[in-house]
Amino acid sequence: MIKLSSVGSLFAILFTITTISCTQPKPKRVINFPETNLVEENLIPKPLEIISTNDGFALDKYTAIYTSKDVEGFEEVGNFLADKIKSKTGIEVPVNIDTITTIETVINIRKSDTLDQNLPEAYQLHIAQDTITLHSSTATGAFRGIQTLRQIIPEMSNDTLTKNKVWVIPTGKIIDSPQFEYRGAMLDVARHFFAVEDVKKYIDVLSYYKFNVLHLHLTDDQGWRIEIKSWPKLTEIGGSTEVGGKSGGFYTQEEYTDIVNYAAARHILIVPEIDMPGHTNAASVSYPFLNGNGKTPKLYKGTRVGFSTFDTKKDTVYAFIDDVIREVAAITPGPYFHIGGDESLVTKKKDYIYFVNKVEKIVQKYGKRMIGWDEVANADISSSSISQHWRGKKNTQVAVSKGMKIIMSPAEKAYLDMKYDSLSKYGLDWVGHIPTDTAYIWTPESYVPLKSIMGIEAPLWSETISDIDELEYLAFPRAIGYAEIGWTVQENRNWEDYKVRLANQGPFLERMNVKYYPSPLIDWKTKQGMQKIKK
């Protein structure tokens, strides 16, 4: 307690108080925000828990981002967010700059050890009037969290609240983590080749919806798309054409690494697939000793499946496979290697089993965990390998009984290459049509017990699509629904509620120049439409 013994000391105290307050930042603005509701934001995937506090956070030219600096990846997450805020609003938000004196609101992105370490993608977002705090125990979790933040930054600023433009972010709390650890999309670059730029654009949109895997189907009958330095003819010959007969293409190892790094910056893993022993015509044309179907292989431009096989009995074939897996594994930082294994219709069953057993060992020798399409479960493989369910319910039961983990890609629900309906411009229909609601309304655990499911994946086979616009027509909007099935628990998924949130993805997809299929089931919102409402 201070005793005031004289008027002099009272003056001294008053003087001190005034000087202290003069060195403080200017008084905080008082903004009277309109009532907000965080719970009603159009978030996809829907988070685990949302609590609204109905106030506003002003994102504007007085906002700054600060991140943990001593933990790998956090500052990059802050920079990524700043970049996305710039492209959505035009505002340049400084990241980790301590010398600015005009800051009014702050976004803090921090590592928190109190969040469960076993949930590497969990995050918590606290939005208060002056501060947004994003906590995660990993940079990956923080990256997922900033996607949530990106989604709740409004399309348009409020220009009447204060002197400058303000983007009002609703306040509250989001507690979130994914249901499945593997949330993938697959792109077939073998039937038609897609350039590095196209793949990057696909990755950009997938990462906004919290996908964490892109599986690249790199080889098939019609094309071999990844450079193998020890076997150069694979791409020289095997990569030269594609379905329909136009010239094909391939990724050099450098280009593949560029894709891997681009994906890694978005916390997405690349899973490479070298499909075998079937779907190997392009390899056998390049090096005919590989061929096991007794015919002379020729470049193939059609779409029929199931006619090719490696010769499963030759040691030289396994020496070749060893080289391929070694080279691809060396440029793939992720833990998985996909060996295909589907539709080997001209490989005898006992030869197929012998083949998969041997190839699994090679994959393991190069430090990777094997994934194969559901047929591989019939081989004598280890429970650490993973089976990808696409068609064979019996195969998947066998995999479950062997203790293998399953990636769910049931063709009748999750195949992005199926037509939406009979009017679809592209796509196949061997398993039927998959409209936008059918793609969303299903649950992986109705096929196999939850504990066996590692996650889900939506494959996009490319027999009928040859450029990025066609790719986007089949992938969007359905892939957005698969993002939610992979992330959000069943109790929080509901078509009627989802369909409104999906409609509101219109402005984002427009901004990204994504040529999505405007499904008539959805009342699409556009940025132009929103501007009209505002006026």
55 binds ligand TNX (CB under 6 A): no
Identify whether the C-beta of residue 336 lies closer than 8 Å to the C-beta of residue 384.
no
Q: Which of 60, 311, 342, 457 is the binder for ligand TNX (CB under 6 A)?
A: 342
**C-beta closer to ligand TNX: residue 55 or 342:** 342
242 binds ligand TNX (CB under 6 A): no
305 binds ligand TNX (CB under 6 A): yes
Q: Which of 167, 300, 373, 517 is the binder for ligand TNX (CB under 6 A)?
A: 373
Nearest to 236 by CA among 246, 250, 222: 250
**C-beta closer to ligand TNX: residue 392 or 518:** 392
The minimum distance between CB 431 and ligand TNX, in angstroms, equals 7
- Site residues for ligand TNX, window 375-394 (CB under 6 A)? 390
484 binds ligand TNX (CB under 6 A): no
**C-beta closer to ligand TNX: residue 373 or 426:** 373
**C-beta closer to ligand TNX: residue 338 or 525:** 338
Bond preceding residue 45 cis, omega within 30 of 0: yes
Q: Which of 461, 473, 508, 524 is the binder for ligand TNX (CB under 6 A)?
A: 461
**Tokens representing residue 327 in the block:** 């080279």
Q: Which of 41, 343, 360, 472 is the binder for ligand TNX (CB under 6 A)?
A: 343
Nearest to 473 by CA among 431, 514, 503: 514
The minimum distance between CB 520 and ligand TNX, in angstroms, equals 24
Residues carrying an active site annotation: 343
Task: Please work out, in degrees rounded to the nearest 5, the angle formed at the alpha carbon of residue 286 by the alpha carbons of 282 and 288.
Answer: 100
Distance in angstroms (rounded) separating the CA atoms of residues 446 and 499: 22
**C-beta closer to ligand TNX: residue 45 or 372:** 372
According to DSSP, the residues that pair with 423 across neighbouring strands are none
Distance in angstroms (rounded) separating the CA atoms of residues 13 and 528: 59
Residues that contact ligand TNX, how many (by CB under 6 A)? 10
Cβ burial 162-177 (10 Å sphere, 16+ → b, else e):
beebbbbbbbbbbbbb
Nearest to 25 by CA among 88, 100, 93: 100
The minimum distance between CB 370 and ligand TNX, in angstroms, equals 15
Whole-angstrom CA distances from 82 to 63, 137, 158, 174, 198 are 10, 21, 20, 20, 24
Nearest to 31 by CA among 103, 107, 129, 126: 129
**C-beta closer to ligand TNX: residue 327 or 342:** 342
**Any residues with CB less than 8 A from the CB of 139 and at least 6 apart, and which?**
71, 72, 73, 74, 76, 77, 267
The minimum distance between CB 61 and ligand TNX, in angstroms, equals 50
**C-beta closer to ligand TNX: residue 48 or 305:** 305
Distance in angstroms (rounded) separating the CA atoms of residues 95 and 396: 48
Nearest to 376 by CA among 359, 257, 362, 166: 359
**C-beta closer to ligand TNX: residue 148 or 241:** 241
The minimum distance between CB 373 and ligand TNX, in angstroms, equals 4
**C-beta closer to ligand TNX: residue 13 or 345:** 345
- Site residues for ligand TNX, window 93-122 (CB under 6 A)? none
The minimum distance between CB 304 and ligand TNX, in angstroms, equals 10
Distance in angstroms (rounded) separating the CA atoms of residues 380 and 238: 31
428 binds ligand TNX (CB under 6 A): yes
The minimum distance between CB 409 and ligand TNX, in angstroms, equals 8
**Tokens representing residue 78 in the block:** 């802050």
The minimum distance between CB 427 and ligand TNX, in angstroms, equals 9
Identify whether the C-beta of residue 105 lies closer than 8 Å to the C-beta of residue 131.
yes
According to DSSP, the residues that pair with 372 across neighbouring strands are 387
Q: According to DSSP H, which parts of 348-458 are helical?
A: 349-365, 393-401, 411-414, 436-440
Cβ burial 269-299 (10 Å sphere, 16+ → b, else e):
bbbbbbbbbbbbbbbbbbbeebbbbeeebeb
Q: Which of 121, 327, 417, 472 is the binder for ligand TNX (CB under 6 A)?
A: 417
The minimum distance between CB 417 and ligand TNX, in angstroms, equals 5
Identify whether the C-beta of residue 390 lies closer than 8 Å to the C-beta of residue 342.
yes
Distance in angstroms (rounded) separating the CA atoms of residues 450 and 416: 23
Residue ranges that bind ligand TNX, judged by CB under 6 A: 305, 342-343, 373, 390, 415, 417, 428, 461, 463
